[in-house]
Structure 1
Amino acid sequence: MVVSTFLLVIIGVTTTTYAVVTNVAQGKSAYQSTTLGTYVASKGVDGNTDSDMMNGRCFHTKSAAENWWYVDLGQIYGTIRLIEVFSRTDCCAERNQKIAVQIGTSLDNMQQVKYWSSQIWDYESVVFPQNQAVRYVKLVHTANTYFHLCEIKVYSQT
């Protein structure tokens, strides 16, 4: 009689799963309070973070006491974790102050999640520690001047 003994050793394997985040704002419909020249709202979600206004990649409003810009994501995303804002850096960045970031599932139900009272230089972000349900991201500018930014990215966890 032959007796065989097998020793099975299982080594614990730890795997880390990383969430994939996608910019769900790129190419979506965008709107602004007024338009200066050809610097339309859609420039804010064209996927290009070029911060030189003269390259035609930024949105720009006319001067007003209050200006706004918003993107309609086309549907409610329940896993928004990050909003990135890219400012104009070739000139006039001092105008980009007194900006409120609002999010909501409808334009009638917006919640302010960030306010920059001082100047945005080149880049700012809003990080959410927990998932947010969002369809609209709106920036309200109350600096009594022109309003221009070069890109707004809204990331959803997938």
Structure 2
Amino acid sequence: MFHTLGELEPFWWVNLGQVYKVFKVVSTNRIGASGERLRQMLVHVGDSLETSHMELCGEFNGPAFSGQVIDTQCKTLPEGKIVKLTSVNKKPVEFHLAEVEVYAV
């Protein structure tokens, strides 16, 4: 689990160690209170943390609920070793997920 401070676009990322073609990312929202904080989440794949150099895998448009499992299917098969999940907000909001799974070929 991770939890950020309130930000406009807080993010979480993972380095997969090598380049993969990603076909979906499954994330589990915070279990317990405050699950509705997650309103919009973008999932990017690439070789750096610069979103402008990454390909959009897919997005979630909520609001979410506590414990919700969010299955983000990639529109294409983006290639990269970095997977970045960004919470997009109109005002500073905390970003928190209980689990993230990356599926690749």
- TM-score band, normalised by shorter chain: 0.7 to 0.9
Which amino acid is 2:71 matched to?
S
**Aligned partner (choices 4, 8, 17) of residue 74 of structure 1:** 17
| Unaligned runs of at least 5 residues, structure 1 | 1-57
Which amino acid is 1:152 matched to?
V
Computing the radius of gyration from Cα coordinates, the structure with the larger value is: 1
Which amino acid is 1:139 matched to?
L
- Structure 1 equivalent of residue 59 of structure 2: 115
Which is worse superposed, 59-68 or 104-113?
A: 104-113
1:39-118 paired onto structure 2 within 5 Å: 58-78=1-21, 80-108=22-50, 109-118=53-62
Q: Distance in 2 between matches of 1:65 and 1:81?
A: 27
Confirm or deny that 1:148 pairs with 2:96: yes
1:126-141 paired onto structure 2 within 5 Å: 126-128=72-74, 131-141=77-87
Instruction: Tell me the SS of whatever aligns to 1:94.
Output: helix
Q: Distance in 1 between matches of 2:75 and 2:95?
A: 29
List, as ranges, runs of 4+ consecutive aligned residues in structure 1 with deviation greater than 3 Å.
128-132
TM-score relative to the length of structure 1: 0.56
Which amino acid is 1:151 matched to?
E
CA positional deviation for 1:131: 3.9
TM-score relative to the length of structure 2: 0.80
Point out which structure has higher relative CO (alpha carbons under 8 A, 6+ apart).
2
Instruction: Tell me the SS of whatever aligns to 1:145.
Output: coil
What's the Cα RMSD here? 1.8
CA distance 1:151–1:102, shift in 2 (3 Å)? same
Q: Which has the higher strand share?
A: 2
**How many residues end up aligned between the 2 structures?**
99
